[in-house]
Structures are given as C-alpha cells and as structure tokens.
Chains A and B, each alone.
Chain A
C-alpha cells in the first residue's frame, strides 16, 4: 500500500521569499517520488523526481526536493518565489515495480503575493 499526505492545503508567500511545500509518504516498497505542478487550465507538468539516486533532487524553475527516508518526507523548496510560481502542486508516490501506479496527494495551492 502507498499513500501521500501534503501537510498544507494552502501556502502563501511574498515574492522573493522562500517556498516550502511539505509532503510525507508511506510505501510498502522502495518508492519513486515526484512533484508535479498544475497551472490553471493547464496540464500537469513534472517539476522533479526522486528514483533512488541522489537524495537531493533539483528540478525545473529553481525548485528542489530532498528525500528523507527516516522522516518519510519529500518536501519541495525554492529559495525565492516568483509570481509565476502561483499554482497547484502535487506530491506523487509510485511503486518501483512493474505496476507504476501513482498515488497523488490532495495538492497544495501556492499563492505568491507581490
């Protein structure tokens, strides 16, 4: 079994300040973890992925995430928020098996204030 909990449904930051979106997961197997972003009326876009290589993962648009097995966490961070970062963010866990079925968190809405 696998599950994902995004700890904040809404996060609001000021432009230029750091972003932290929190994600905890549970998985019976060694997981792959992903962060996706969804802008209004746009499709889901992959930000970054962890697949058992380096625990600190860098993604697009300055985002990065750190896989912490002991804490079962995969928090997403960015040093300085930009107005264009305002969107819905989803943390996703996938089994490293042939199944490939993904479980999504409920999402975190990021608001960036000018």
Chain B
C-alpha cells in the first residue's frame, strides 16, 4: 500500500503523560500536514512541512505540541503533558507542493486522554 500511514491508530494515555505519533507520507510528496479533528467538527489545521522545513504553525498549537520532519520523509507529532482537551483524532496528510493539489489523508491516530 503506497498511501499515507499513521502509527499508532489508537492511543490511550493518562493526563500529564507525553505521547508521540508518527506519519509516513506518500513517498513522492514533499508537503506534509497535521490536522486535529474533534467529534462533530471538520479537521483543523495544526502545522505543515515542505520537505524538512516547518513553514507554518496554527495558533491552536500550544507550546506543548511539537512536530518534526527530520529528513523530509516521515514526521512525528509530540504532545507533552497531555490534557483531557487533547483527546481528538490526529490526521496526517501529504501532497505535492502546490495549492491546487489535493491532500491525501492517512487513517488518523485517535488519542484518548484519561
């Protein structure tokens, strides 16, 4: 399968713990995006990379969130000191670098913070 993959698919953690998610984009795509989706709402943009450079971060992304794409391939999203409000589906997408090109989404990582 050559689509976008995310790992893990589900994560349950206790409040205050750190969690890390991984995204593997489609190999030819140089853009990678992270979104957060809560129940009943559409995905909200968090951040995106062009190759290894993080070009934009949403104001939704607090200091507890950090994302990396060290070699311009896979990316990780880390949440430190998780809070119950962080419970959501975290989606990763990739695309070619042009606004007209659609983004291809992974299946998401569902985070539950107890």
Which A residues are within 8 Å of any B CB, using their own CB?
Answer: 4, 32, 34, 36, 42-46, 49, 51-52, 90, 92, 94-107
Q: In the complex, which of the residues B4, B43, B91, B97 contacts A98, with contact meaning CB atoms closer than 8 Å? A: B97
Contact call A51/B100, Cβ cutoff below 8 A: yes
Q: Does the CB pair A100–B107 fall under 8 Å?
A: no
Residues on A with beta carbons closer than 8 Å to the beta carbon of B103: 100, 102
Q: Is the CB of A94 within 8 A of B99?
A: yes
Nearest residue (CB) in A for B103 is: A102
Q: Is the CB of B102 within 8 A of A101?
A: no
- 17 more CB-based (< 8 A) A-B contacts, given A36-B105, A100-B99, A101-B45: A32-B100, A43-B4, A44-B43, A44-B105, A94-B100, A95-B99, A99-B55, A99-B99, A100-B33, A102-B33, A103-B45, A104-B42, A104-B43, A104-B44, A105-B42, A106-B42, A107-B42
Q: How many A-B residue pairs have CB under 8 A?
A: 67
Q: Determine the main DSSP class of B at the interface with A.
A: loop
Closest residue on chain B to residue A34 by CB atoms: B102
How far is the CB of A28 from the nearest CB of chain B, in Å? 13
| Residues in B neighbouring A100, C-beta threshold 8 A | 31, 33, 48, 95, 97-99, 101, 103
Q: Which 5 A-B pairs have the closest CB atoms?
A: A104-B42, A44-B105, A51-B100, A96-B99, A43-B107
B102 partner, pick from A43, A49, A95, beta carbons under 8 A: A49
A46 to B105 Cα, complex, angstroms: 9
Interchain CA distance A51-B100 in the complex, whole Å:
6
